[in-house]
Copies of this chain bind each other. A is one copy, B any other.
Amino acid sequence: MHSISAEIISIGDELLIGQVVNTNASWMAQVLNHAGITVVQVTTVRDDRQAITDSVTAAMTRADVVLTTGGLGPTKDDITKTVLCDYFHTQLVEDERVHEHVLNLYKNRPDVLNRLTATQWLVPEAATILPNRVGSAPVMAFEQNKSGKLLVSMPGVPHEMQVAMSEQVLPYMQKHFGLCADVIHRTIVVYGIPESSLALRIEAWEKALPATMHLAYLPKQGVVRLRLSSYGEATAAEVEQQITALMPLIADHVIATDDLTPQQILGHWLTEHKLTIATAESCTGGRLASLLNEQSGSSAYYMGSVVAYDNSVKEHVLGVRAETLATVGAVSEQTVREMAEGVRQLLHTDYAIATSGVAGPTGGTPDKPVGTVWIAWATPEGTTAECCHFFGDRMQITNTAAMAAIGKLLLQIMPQERKIY
């Protein structure tokens, strides 16, 4: 199969003053990569005629498909549409379908409609217009004469871009380039082993992989997603065979055999077993609760948290003994154990997690340097605790500690056969 290459051009002054982080480009890169399309470059340019024209010209010589986002709003600094008209030697014409769609979208907002009049339903004559289900700016696909190369222009609003990309642009590209739809991905989620050690452990297996399959390591906050992909050349059974050979090598670190976050895996597991959980947080300061509530439906198993930042809260709400705090201090095994057991009892849950540590940048001591975090897990079978050491700034330590609290619980409770969720 010929591999398709893509470039992304992000358009907008706001990206070049650092006001907005370019999350669109990474989201698109991930989706394209997942579909077997290689992203070779991302370019961010201002709302400037020359800069947009130059970047489009350069990208069209390098890549099979160029995806632009931004510059499609109704205000005068949004110029992408007219620049693309010039580049593709075409002109703006009224589009009845877009007109109707915009009227319908803003039927209850005549004030918005006024400002939009006469620009949003003007589209380049030579472009194929793809529906923008959730916004007013049209999604436009241009085909370059003869070369078969594509340029697709999308709005910069993340939600509009994501809906357009998933529902319209990807299927359009797959059809245009004749991409096989039977891309296969199998993801194994691993926790508690550094990427490099993991690579060494599965080195022989990885080297023996057939050329039709590709393995990617996707590490984040201590979690590594191992993704085995085939772009239409291997059968599902062949991919499964490799997964079966891989599993015994890493079973002690696998937390999921499907592409889910640790908090999703825990959520599924608790829901399925009709179990509940609570948290008691000191140094993670609400981040652990936040993570556990990210997905809809968390109210089925997540009862709540006591963020016990002050020692008096640890003592009077969670029931940590004054003696414990006075003798071994807040950042200690005994304290997190009492916190976990205390919140489990207070909120009547099956499971409870507690954290206490030094998030920094101040507060470190030679004994307990910044990054020292005690975590305890109270379960129906008893309570365990572990002292962890994390690196980075206050936010990184908080995030990694919260993720560890979930990841290490999964390693404890997931059955050896590593059920597929």
Contacts and interface: CB of A to CB of B under 8 A. Distances in A.
B304 A309 contact: yes
B159 A19 contact: no
Contacts of A15: 26, 29, 42
A121 to B, nearest CB: 23
Interface stretch (A44-52, A173-181, A403-411): A44-52
A34 B308 CA distance: 38
Interface string A286-320: 11111111111111001111111110110001000
A279 B308 CA distance: 11
A392 interface: yes
Chain A, interface SS category: mixed
Contacts of A296: 359-363, 394
A104 interface: no
Given A288-B286, A347-B310, A16 B44 contact: no
A87 interface: no
A421 interface: no
Nearest to A162: B393
A27 interface: yes
A237 interface: no
Contact of A18 (B30, B347, B359): B30
Nearest to A6: B16
A209 interface: no
Contacts of A307: 279, 286, 289, 293, 304-307
B22 A27 contact: no
A306 B309 contact: no
Top 7 nearest A-B pairs (CB, nearest first) are A286-B289, A18-B30, A285-B293, A18-B29, A305-B307, A286-B286, A42-B44
Interface of A: 15-23, 25-33, 39-46, 51, 55, 58, 159, 216, 218, 220, 279, 281, 285-299, 302-310, 312-313, 317, 346-348, 359-363, 392-395, 398
